[in-house]
Amino acid sequence: MHPSECYINREYSLLQFNRRVLELAQDANTPLLERLKFLCISFSNMDEFFEVRLASLYEMLNEGAQVRTQPDGRTPREAIELLTEAAHQLVNDQYDTFNHMLIPELAQEGIRFLRRTHWNEAERTWVRDYFNEHVLPVLNPIGLDPAHPFPRVQNKSLHFIVSLEGEDAFGRRIPMAVVPVPRTLPRVIKIPPSVSGGEHDFVFLSSVLHAHVSALFPGMTVTGCYQFRVTRNTNLFIDEEEVDDLMQALAGELSTRQYGDAIRLEVADNCPPHLVEFLLTRFHLDEQSLYQVHGPVNLHRLMAVPDMVDRPDLKFPPFSPSVPLAPKRRKVLSFLSGKKEPRDIFAHIRARDIVLHHPYESFAPVVRLLQAAAKDPKVLAIRMTLYRTGEDSPIVAALEQAARAGKEVTAVVELRARFDEDNNIQQAQRLQEAGAHVVYGVVGYKTHAKMIHIVREEQGRLVQYAHLGTGNYHHVTTRFYTDFGLLTAHEGICEDVHRIFLQLTSLGRAPDLNYLLQAPFSLHTGLLERIQREADNARAGHPARIVAKMNGLQEKQVIDALYAASQSGVEIDLIVRGICCLRPGVPGLSDTIRVRSIVGRFLEHHRIFYFENHGERPELFISSADWMRRNLLGRIETAVPILDPDHFQRLYTEGLALYLQDNRQAWELQPDGQYQRLQPTTDETPFSAQQYLIDHYNTAES
């Protein structure tokens, strides 16, 4: 078989994921304002696709590379051709969804986007005043002539190209001008009800500027005004082995990110051909990089609209994470109960592991753990990995407090977390100023593992505690990313975590671990060995099954091992939210493999792997790692086994089994690389795993 018959192109699979997000914007069963949000998310995802994924292929092409680096066997040029065609179709579908579905349906609910050709006199007057007071003072139009060359256009910034006739104040004929629009200006503006008569009426900033662009060129005639936006390559280029201080080198490189090579030009669909050609030439792009759109060139800015519309009936019902409960007794953990003298968190963890399921359960125990450790005089040392934390992070604040209190605090800060580099640099500087030891991981390997290690003196001996999770220590994203976390005092697991931290800071040899699997050393081989073991069991006639949930599956050796296991008779269910390069259900190759994707209200982010292991000693791991080559071979990652039988059963049910029952937010991957959305049959009860868990945890808390 040709490689393309065995494997799906990685970037093409990413576009398919974005199509599933767009389908939620088209789904009448989703609340209307949430549908608008899903459209915005799909648009933001497409921006990143061009900035990162397509940009990387163009880098390879410009370097003359014709190597077939992907499992599907395509060269960079062949991949670009495939992806450009698919991307054009997807962008067209986004605007069709916006113009022909969402705008009419929103209008029926009294949420209107008023076109400038339909403004009444009161609306025109209000818009004119708004332009004069809020827009005109911050605009800097640039007439194009030898003294005013074409401006330097930032990545994804809104601009207008304006065609002109007549002479300026100096008697010059300037046929064109460019108007940059400051990012500080809102792209969607709400009109007061007293003006339009509607409670939720909006105008686009582009309409406001179109209506009054002549005010920028007094004495001249504007013959055309057209919005455009350029998407650039945002990949950073740092030779880590040649720099002395990674933070300084990265900070210097960030300033150039907004001006990388142009990858895509978006322009209004009514822009004349000669102006389109002029822009393409300026940005050194060809026609396949041109996207002519009917509507705002940045639909993502519409994400602000739902917050400006007080219509709870058009949004998801309010949801708050529940307070974690003690196992079996199902009582609120006392350190979260608000009592004056609660049993301390360390005693709880010593008594029994605590498993957390976000966002259904609060992230508070993790924050409380660090806050308690910062204040506790018995705590001697805290070590932690930080990948994404967000601004004003209580996690970072607790580490600062601990460092200022004289505890040994070590933070392994990953400076290269994409698009969070600047924030992570600031967090690293804060921690250094507080007296913490800050390191940036290992040259050439991103530190993506999610680990906390705490050393506490108890009755004359040192006791270790750990938290390991599947998601970031980010107090905001834990409210809408699904993740698992384990709080444990298990001596073997905590010692493994300790050894990994020693390796990250001292850069010694790979540690011998007794419980954890660690990338890039034992995780990849550990997965291959377990897949092989299931294949051996199947051939011997023993029970053999693999169920795994992750964000992406692309690593070729793992895919080939799964193919071989399928041919041996192993039943394999994979729940892969995004990229999946494996082709399921191909006769003779992957007959027993099924792949589904769950896309819904929350971003599915768990990584959880189950191996039946003869049915006698099944294994269940939660992990920070997807089954991607970058995660398994190019990053610091961990996978931790769930040893407690009750927690094992709970995580298997909540992380895997429920998702295999889903028939409301599930798409099944077909052998041809397309996804088919599942619909409950007349004999089936509609079932959403996410909604079930919301209801389950709300009921448990009450």
Cβ(489)–Cβ(381) below 8 Å = no
- Concerning whether 357 is annotated as a catalytic residue, the answer is no
* Spatial CB neighbours of 562, under 8 Å, sequence gap ≥ 6: 531, 546, 572, 574, 582, 590, 593
Q: Among candidates 282, 249, 261, 95, which has minimal Cα distance to 178?
A: 282
Cβ(44)–Cβ(300) below 8 Å = yes
Helices (H) and strands (E) in the chain, counts: 23, 27
Q: How are strands ordered across the β-sheet holding 159-165?
A: 142-143, 176-180, 159-165, 221-232, 262-268, 290-293
Buried residues in 540-569 as b, exposed as e (16+ CB within 10 A) = eeeebbbbbbbbbbbbbbbbbbbbebbbbe
Cβ(360)–Cβ(321) below 8 Å = yes
Neighbour-count burial of 539, counting CB atoms closer than 10 A to its CB (0-12 exposed, 13-18 middle, 19+ buried): middle
How far is it, in rounded angstroms, from Cα 500 to Cα 516? 10
Give CA separation, 320 vs 285, 478, 480, 622, 698, in Å: 47, 11, 10, 24, 9
User: Tokens 């799909």, residue?
Assistant: 42
Backbone phi, psi, residue 142, to 5°: -125, 110
Q: Which of 300, 348, 448, 467 is catalytic?
A: 448
How far is it, in rounded angstroms, from Cα 363 to Cα 476? 10
* Ordered alpha helix ranges (H), 540-662: 556-567, 629-633, 645-652, 658-661
Q: How are strands ordered across the β-sheet holding 111-113?
A: 111-113, 200-204, 188-191
Backbone phi, psi, residue 408, to 5°: -80, 110
Q: Which residues are catalytic?
A: 448
